[in-house]
């Protein structure tokens, strides 16, 4: 028992290090001018490190907590469920259930894992409200067996190789994502160059950059119109209108008036990104459709 406890702690440290690294990397590659969005699976409370045996012995004190629970895989129960206990070699009868909706492959039998997620007492109705869109795939027998027992609703399951086997794969960019991205990448450099041109009171350079912005916003507007998304279409046409007003004002050498459009033009980015842009764990973006 002593031996297995020691190695469990070592493994937990390793797995946690991998987890923290993954989070650090995932904050890179933000869009410009955007506050970093919280990672999708950031727990609302500090994580409580705990061994599966402690949970099994004293579940009540952990109910509602977000835990990093270490233990050995006892049995794979379904595509998205397995049980964990403390002893690698024998069933202790003190298992803790783990439900991992995004489990990509069965956990290695008897392998040590670190499971991260909220701990509750197993109740199918409770699970349904906490894990929207997830269907419990445990047998009726297992559901009865674990009813009222501790369960971790896992957002991550890290194995001894440091791999999170409960991580949703990142979907490739769709044709739509790629088409929109082509316009998006033009915007930040044009915005930066526009500000410089305005500060330097250069009519030609301001016109050049405002035209790039206007053209890109026109394409973006067309894109969303074709999707029947009125709100996004409006944000794109707002952007176009601000670029237009810059063009009109610089034509009259009125740089002060032109400068007043810079902030509202930038605000259209944040509005649309907040609702229709989704950031993947690898720092790339997709169009967000489901609300």
Question: Which of 80, 268 has the CB closer to ligand HEC?
Answer: 268
Q: Phi and psi of 284, rounded to 5°?
A: -90, 165
Q: How far is the CB of 67 from ligand HEC (least distance, A)?
A: 34
By beta-carbon proximity to ligand HEC, the closer residue of 34 and 252 is 34
We find the least distance from the C-beta atom of residue 25 to ligand HEC, in angstroms, to be 17
Q: CB-wise, 167 or 286, nearer to ligand HEC?
A: 286
Furthest-apart CA pair in the chain: how many Å?
83
Q: How far apart are alpha carbons 275 and 36 in whole angstroms?
A: 14
| Residue closer to ligand HEC (CB basis): 150 or 239 | 239
Position of tokens 């890290």?
Answer: 158
What is the binding site for ligand HEC (CB under 6 A)?
31-32, 177, 180-181, 184-185, 187-188, 191, 220, 224, 232, 235-236, 239, 266, 268-269, 272-273, 276-277, 284-287
- Least distance (Å) from ligand HEC to the CB of residue 28? 13
Count other C-beta atoms under 10 Å from residue 56's C-beta: 19
CB of 1 to ligand HEC, least distance (A): 51
Residue closer to ligand HEC by CB (options 153, 287) is 287
Distance between CA atoms of residues 142 and 140, nearest Å:
6
Please identify which residue in the block is written with the tokens 């500090």. Answer: 46
Specify the residue for token string 């350079």. Answer: 205
- Tell me, rounded to whole angstroms, the distance of Cα 140 from its chain centroid: 32
In terms of residues, how long is the chain? 291
Q: Which two tokens stand for residue 180?
A: 């929109």
Shortest Å, Cβ 227 to ligand HEC: 10
């Amino acid at each position: 028992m002593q031996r297995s406890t020691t190695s469990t702690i070592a493994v937990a440290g390793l797995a946690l290090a991998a987890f923290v690294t993954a989070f650090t990397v995932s904050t890179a590659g933000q869009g410009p001018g955007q506050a970093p969005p919280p990672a999708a699976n950031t727990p609302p409370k500090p994580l409580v490190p705990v061994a599966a045996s402690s949970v099994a012995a004293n579940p009540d004190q952990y109910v509602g907590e977000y835990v990093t629970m270490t233990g050995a895989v006892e049995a794979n129960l379904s595509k998205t469920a397995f049980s964990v206990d403390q002893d690698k070699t024998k069933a202790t009868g003190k298992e803790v259930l783990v439900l991992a909706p995004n489990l990509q492959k069965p956990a290695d039998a008897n392998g040590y894992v670190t499971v991260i997620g909220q701990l509750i007492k197993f109740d199918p109705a409770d699970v349904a409200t906490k894990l929207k869109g997830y269907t419990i795939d445990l047998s009726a027998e297992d559901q009865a067996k674990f009813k009222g027992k501790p369960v971790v609703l896992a957002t991550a399951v890290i194995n001894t190789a440091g791999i999170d086997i409960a991580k949703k794969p990142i979907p490739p960019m769709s044709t739509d994502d790629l088409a929109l991205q082509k316009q998006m990448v033009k915007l930040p450099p044009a915005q930066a160059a526009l500000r410089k041109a305005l500060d330097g009171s250069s009519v030609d350079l301001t016109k050049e950059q405002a035209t790039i912005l206007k053209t890109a916003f026109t394409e973006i507007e067309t894109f969303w119109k074709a999707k029947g998304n009125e709100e996004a279409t409006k944000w794109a046409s707002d952007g176009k209108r601000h670029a237009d007003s810059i063009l009109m004002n610089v034509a009259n050498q009125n740089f002060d008036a032109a400068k007043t459009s810079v902030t509202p033009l930038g605000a259209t980015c944040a509005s649309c990104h907040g609702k229709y842009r989704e950031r993947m764990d690898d720092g790339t973006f997709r169009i967000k459709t489901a609300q």
